[in-house]
Structure formats: structure tokens, C-alpha cells
Amino acid sequence: MTAELLNIHKIIWTEKPTLRAIYHHYYQRILAYANLGKTLEVGGGTGNLKNYLPDVISTDILKMSWLDVTCDAQLLPFASESFDTLVAIDVLHHIERPIRFLKEAERVLKKGGRLILLEPAITKVSWFFYHFFHPEPVILNIDPLEDAPLNPNKQAFDANQAIPELIFGKFYHKFCHHFPGFYLKNKEYLSLFAYPLSGGFRKWCLIPKNCINFLLTIERYLEKFLAKHIGFRVLVIIERKAYAVKCQGSKNL
């Protein structure tokens, strides 16, 4: 992704009410978990979180006029224990060494602060869609917490959509080993039909705009039965404790 493509995404956001309705649903769920106080957004992209949190400090690796700070998520230019909440939407699966970002998140969060991640979920249905119809790969045979040398040829938005599922699934105990002060407060699967049918940040959409709110209401009801098996998104809430805790997770892990 380039700055030019990010500008295209911002235009699509403005012109696509169905997309805005879906993300409104996401933002409302994110805000329900956010702590009161100072909020940092990593990977701010098109800057839409500012519509919900005007005082959020939004960062991205690309310099865009609507964002506040240009920086690498693996080396955040903020003092330790500066923020009550850190939000990253569709960011973790783009980061080459997630362990470095997670260490930075732990550092800049205050004790009791929360890291809120919204990411692709790799379920039985979504894997098929992401693998065959999405430009970003799904690579399951890697260790997402390996801290190997950085690749100088990596482009800013190269991705592996499996990273979040691996960290908070197969490699969760390794995550606990590296981050004993982090507590996985919740892990929720969501987004059953509306997101893939909307086309995301592409120009096409298969949902009439006057049907989207009804579809989202139905989705929310069905999530508790179906989302873990067919959901396209996962919402991960991590809390920084004041002391190291035994590795544990939410009931939804």
C-alpha cells in the first residue's frame, strides 16, 4: 500500500455508506472496551477513528495530512506509561515482527491500560475467502513471535492475515511467556456476512445501503452461535497488569 492507495481508500470511505456503517459497528465495540483517558492509535490509515475519538493521537508509517505522527509501530516515539488505551485496527497482521510492537505497546501503556486489536479472524469459512479472494496471504506455518532480523526489502503494508490467530491461538502460551504482565481480557469473533459482502475498501458492494443496519442487527444476534466458526473478524482486548500474572485467557479463547 502506498500513500496514493491510502488516499483512494479515504475517497471510498467517504462515498460508501455501507462501509461506514460496518466500521461504525466496529468502533462502537472498540469504544466499549477503551479506558477513559489518553488514547493512541497505531496504523491510523484513513484516520476514521478520529470521528469517534477526536483527541486520539493517530500514527502511521506513512505520512498523511490527517494523522498526527509518522512512525514505525515497532519503535514508538512516546514515553513509557503515556497512554490509557492503544487501538490498532488491521495493523498487527502487517507488522513484520509483532513481538517488537507488543513490547512497545506494553511499554507505552499505563498499568491497567488496554491494547485493543481488531484483526482478520481465520475460521473455517473466512480462511477460504481470505485465501482465494483476498490479496493478502494467509500463512499458517510460521512462528509469529520470532524476533529475527528485519527484512530491509519488506514493504510497509506487506501482510500475513494469520498472525493474530496464531499469536492468540497456537502460540498463546509463548505470548504469555514473553508478556507475563499482559492479561488477555477478551477475544471475540464477529462479522459474519456484512463485511465480505460489502467488498471492504473496494468499490463494489453486494449489500443495498438500506439493508445494512438490519443485516448488522441479525449478525450481532447470531455471533454467539456462529462467529467462532464463520466469523471474519476477531476483537482482542489485552490489559496491562501492575504485576506479572499467570498465563491465562478469556473464556472465549
pLDDT, tens only, 11-20 = 999 999 999 9
Dist. CA 75–CA 169, nearest whole Å:
25
CA diameter of the chain: 50
Q: Where are the domains of the chain?
A: 3-240
| Mean model confidence pLDDT for the chain | 93
CA atoms of 49 and 58, how far apart (whole Å)? 8
Reported as a single tens digit per residue, the pLDDT across 24-57 is 999 999 999 999 999 999 999 999 999 999 999 9
As to burial, measured by CB atoms within 10 angstroms (0-12 exposed, 13-18 middle, 19+ buried), residue 199 is middle
C-alpha cell at 62: 506513512
Phi/psi of residue 27, nearest 5 degrees: -60, -40
DSSP annotation of 202 reads S
CATH for the stretch 3-240 = 3.40.50.150
Query: How does DSSP classify residue 63?
Result: -
Query: Could you report the per-residue pLDDT of 61-71, keeping only the tens digit for each?
Result: 999 999 999 99
What pTM does this model have? Answer: 0.93
pLDDT tens digit sequence for 153-197 = 667 668 999 999 999 999 999 999 999 999 999 999 999 999 999
What's the pLDDT score for residue 251? Answer: 46
- Report how far residue 38's alpha carbon sits from residue 135's, in angstroms, rounded to the nearest whole number: 35
